[in-house]
Chains A and B, each alone.
Chain A
């Protein structure tokens, strides 16, 4: 496994481009370098849009090999994915620390009023890591504790992680979680265990693709009115 600290590849030229564009390689480069690569058409626009890190550097990484694709219509809310994830990756069963999230939206969806959850639409979100090409969890980490492995997957180095939660805040989907027991962050490593045992095939481990716009609705367009705001619905009937 390689760490997210090496700077020797910055500006290192064409001999590095192979690994740069393979799914297994990574580099850490300056913002100016990335901008010029984008301008040359060698990198996608998203790379240039990446924020700078506290050291004035931009991390740009080649795509991870795999990503989880979810279909929430198939999810039946058993939450075995969360338990399976932590059994494999943490050696315990701890849904609150899982790298995939179902239980927090099971009752009411992404937020109260979303119209989702078992009390309303019977849909809820299966939140899984998008495996962003430019991983904000990683670029934001002040400890350099999120490292990239040979598959282009970012994983948390528990030795370095101080549990500050910056990664959670930086992730547009708030996917990493800081484990309340260990005080360390965790994030998806695309091991696929959740998908392997999903009883409804609602999760698939696929070759990487951009899943950020492909996962379907995340709430209802016309949510049902909230029970707690409709005081005439007492005990199963419109009792005014």
Chain B
């Protein structure tokens, strides 16, 4: 019998839809260097999908992977990562498509750390994983169905405990903005649904009864208890309540710690349940801290709130669970709710441009009952269609193209009548169903509105609607000309947010920095924390009052990226992790940056420090960067380009031109300054060991990270550059940095 594998299941399944071949392979060789999740998936994509492959080609793959902490009992370890080729950003390079829900944990319990889907089927199929038994099944009866119906049909057939990850009509139609849905409202985006659609793979169904072996189960439990009692806050690790409460020294109205006396899960079975005043050191009230329905949907949503829920294994519970009668009437779906964009697609992204009457009321522009209907109607529709939004870009684009008259210009009058914007502006959102059905159709010839589902890189270009100016319009929130929008950008610590918005081939989904920004602690305290973590108080600026770039901001940007990549590889939720701050006054609100390493050690039995893990994350980030260099086209359209600075990491113009009456570095603006931005990139590249002029990985950094093969590959392509600061010279030590605040940490006394 094989040696017990702790943390990792040890096996990755490979399903070839062309040949029908199903195999399993060991991942032991990858574990130390690539951890799991994003690391595994990127390694496989790099090794197996050559540059130049198009996203809809048979040679493209979709790689799902989880990490050693997935399903292990570690808090907030319910996420999973897919990698594939982007369907909607320039050059269609490698992207990560994260999702929560039940998929990651269920896959682990089936005895797998990953699933590689390759080839193409000629008829609709789904992949069924029941522990060791893996098969390709006929999906013809499911083709054309929405995500809810598919989930139900497959659970009916294979067991109600199955996790179904499915594409909807958008994926079948190979719409670039298609996603993969699991557990009703958890979505893996970035076009993954279109890739599965191109492979005629309707769904992946997973049932798992096995164990995630844990080397030190008592330590996993003890560390979890410690973390939940005093280190973990609410959603986004906000650590103060949103209202004044007797127990709390601070409060902040923006906080997602929204529980308070008099606020109820009003539609709970058996009568309203009060969220009350959950406090630190109360593990049994943790799940009430984040009242996400009223936070996102306004006070009218309280009466529809049954409870909160969320991903597997997470005590934070950030997912609203509401039953809105108008939505039930219009769509036939009883429940809805989300935690991110699909919870508030109308009010946060369309209403600012449209100002529909009746959506907000009073001086404070409070969201109305009607607004709940608008938001949740769109939510259930797009989730059922498996339609992704490019972090809200679809909604901004729809609102703007309507307002600019572009829709009327490109769609027929009959179509405009069906879309019935007049009704939408008059209080009836039901024609949104038709709008999103047509977008999901991907019938660009007959339903031009579906171009919006190809992303702004496509629809704004000269061959389509010819409005490249949209990228330079601040209202677009587009941050990179390759086609992705901000995901907490310059408004979040200026250069820090700007920098980490450049590195991937899609929006970044990094929350390490924005969580510190929004955690609710006063800026003076946060600056002290920044000095401890990043070497200087000047790592952090107050909102809209920022200073020129400095090495501590660069360190903060580097840390934001490596923690995010680490979490996507372990897999932990970077929407809350890392534990940089805490709600307990007793520990001076300091977090515990060693927890990832301590959990890793307890689960896998392999001793590591946080610095080891950050290095692995840097390796994974740099590997993706190499993959991008290999496949990116230069200004002449030639594939293979290492000028990341001028071709890839190009921030949109509006960041330099907004607030025309205010100068950069003065209060009231987050406007960037051009020379400062150039300098920021230079210092940032240096921190990663990348070339300071070009921003591409160097021979030195590839050697430091053990990426020898990648170094050779770049050399052969003529894309390898010398130079780069050595790892030891550029690396700050994080191990034990906050130790003096962590006296209760059980791993320290073990």
| Given contact pairs A228-B152, A234-B145, A199 touches B160 in the complex (Cβ within 8 A) | no
Structural contact, A92 and B213, CB atoms closer than 8 A: yes
Listed residue (A72, A76, A111, A180) with the most chain B CB atoms within 10 angstroms of its CB? A76
Structural contact, A118 and B332, CB atoms closer than 8 A: no
User: Would you give the shortest CB distance from A101 to chain B, in whole angstroms?
Assistant: 9
Give the complex CA separation of A123 and B269 in angstroms. Answer: 8
Structural contact, A107 and B151, CB atoms closer than 8 A: yes
29 contacts between A and B (CB under 8 A): A71-B270, A73-B270, A75-B307, A76-B308, A91-B217, A93-B211, A94-B210, A94-B211, A97-B211, A103-B102, A106-B183, A107-B151, A108-B160, A119-B151, A197-B224, A197-B283, A199-B283, A216-B270, A217-B269, A217-B270, A227-B332, A228-B156, A233-B148, A234-B145, A234-B149, A235-B168, A235-B169, A235-B384, A236-B437
Give the complex CA separation of A17 and B439 in angstroms. Answer: 76
Query: Does any Cβ of A come within 8 Å of B284's Cβ?
Result: yes
Mask of B247-280 contacts with A, CB within 8 angstroms, 1/0: 0000000000000000001001110010000000
Give the complex CA separation of A233 and B149 in angstroms. Answer: 9
Mask of A215-240 contacts with B, CB within 8 angstroms, 1/0: 01100000011111010111111110
Residues of B contacting A4 with CB < 8 Å? none
Give the complex CA separation of A230 and B434 in angstroms. Answer: 19
Query: Does any Cβ of A come within 8 Å of B225's Cβ?
Result: yes
Query: Does any Cβ of A come within 8 Å of B323's Cβ?
Result: yes
Structural contact, A199 and B212, CB atoms closer than 8 A: no
User: Would you give the shortest CB distance from B178 to chain A, in whole angstroms?
Assistant: 12
Query: Does any Cβ of A come within 8 Å of B208's Cβ?
Result: yes
Residues of A contacting B109 with CB < 8 Å? 94-96
Give the complex CA separation of A14 and B435 in angstroms. Answer: 80
Q: Which of A81-89, A142-150, A155-163 contacts the other chain?
A: A81-89
Query: Does any Cβ of B come within 8 Å of A64's Cβ?
Result: no
Listed residue (A72, A80, A236) with the most chain B CB atoms within 10 angstroms of its CB? A236
| Given contact pairs A87-B217, A87-B221, A227 touches B315 in the complex (Cβ within 8 A) | no
Query: Does any Cβ of B come within 8 Å of A31's Cβ?
Result: no
Residues of B contacting A226 with CB < 8 Å? 152
Structural contact, B321 and A118, CB atoms closer than 8 A: yes
User: Would you give the shortest CB distance from A117 to chain B, in whole angstroms?
Assistant: 8
Structural contact, A88 and B210, CB atoms closer than 8 A: no
Which residue of chain A has the shortest Cβ distance to B272 in the bound complex?
Answer: A73
Which residue of chain A has the shortest Cβ distance to B72 in the bound complex?
Answer: A93
Structural contact, B160 and A111, CB atoms closer than 8 A: yes
Give the complex CA separation of A181 and B312 in angstroms. Answer: 21
Give the complex CA separation of A96 and B207 in angstroms. Answer: 10
Give the complex CA separation of A182 and B284 in angstroms. Answer: 32
Interface members, chain B 383-440 (any A CB < 8 Å) = 383-385, 430, 433-434, 436-437, 440
Residues of A contacting B311 with CB < 8 Å? 78
Query: Does any Cβ of A come within 8 Å of B330's Cβ?
Result: yes
Interface members, chain B 108-147 (any A CB < 8 Å) = 109, 131, 144-146
| Given contact pairs A87-B220, A236-B436, A237-B330, A78 touches B314 in the complex (Cβ within 8 A) | yes
Residues of B contacting A228 with CB < 8 Å? 149, 152-153, 156
Query: Which 8 interchain pairs have the tightest Cβ spacing?
Result: A236-B381, A199-B287, A233-B332, A199-B315, A237-B433, A94-B211, A96-B209, A92-B211
Give the complex CA separation of A106 and B288 in angstroms. Answer: 19
Structural contact, A118 and B270, CB atoms closer than 8 A: no
- Which A residues have a C-beta under 8 Å from some C-beta of B? 71-80, 83-84, 86-88, 90-97, 103-108, 111-112, 117-123, 180-181, 193, 195-201, 216-217, 224-228, 230, 232-239
Residues of B contacting A119 with CB < 8 Å? 148, 151-152, 184, 333-335
Structural contact, A78 and B381, CB atoms closer than 8 A: no
Residues of B contacting A103 with CB < 8 Å? 102, 161
Which residue of chain B has the shortest Cβ distance to A225 in the bound complex?
Answer: B332
Residues of A contacting B509 with CB < 8 Å? none
* 14 further contact pairs, Cβ within 8 A, besides A78-B315, A91-B214: A77-B309, A87-B217, A95-B109, A107-B155, A112-B152, A119-B184, A122-B306, A181-B211, A195-B284, A197-B283, A199-B317, A216-B269, A235-B385, A236-B437
Mask of B645-665 contacts with A, CB within 8 angstroms, 1/0: 000000000000000000000
Give the complex CA separation of A136 and B530 in angstroms. Answer: 60
Give the complex CA separation of A123 and B335 in angstroms. Answer: 11
Listed residue (A83, A117, A217) with the most chain B CB atoms within 10 angstroms of its CB? A83
Query: Does any Cβ of A come within 8 Å of B228's Cβ?
Result: yes
Structural contact, B210 and A73, CB atoms closer than 8 A: no
Structural contact, A76 and B309, CB atoms closer than 8 A: yes
Give the complex CA separation of A234 and B283 in angstroms. Answer: 41
Which residue of chain B has the shortest Cβ distance to A111 in the bound complex?
Answer: B160
Give the complex CA separation of A227 and B150 in angstroms. Answer: 9
Query: Does any Cβ of A come within 8 Å of B165's Cβ?
Result: no
Residues of A contacting B306 with CB < 8 Å? 121-123
Give the complex CA separation of A62 and B100 in angstroms. Answer: 45
Structural contact, B131 and A88, CB atoms closer than 8 A: no
Q: Choose one: A75, A227, A234; the contact of B152 (CB below 8 Å).
A: A227
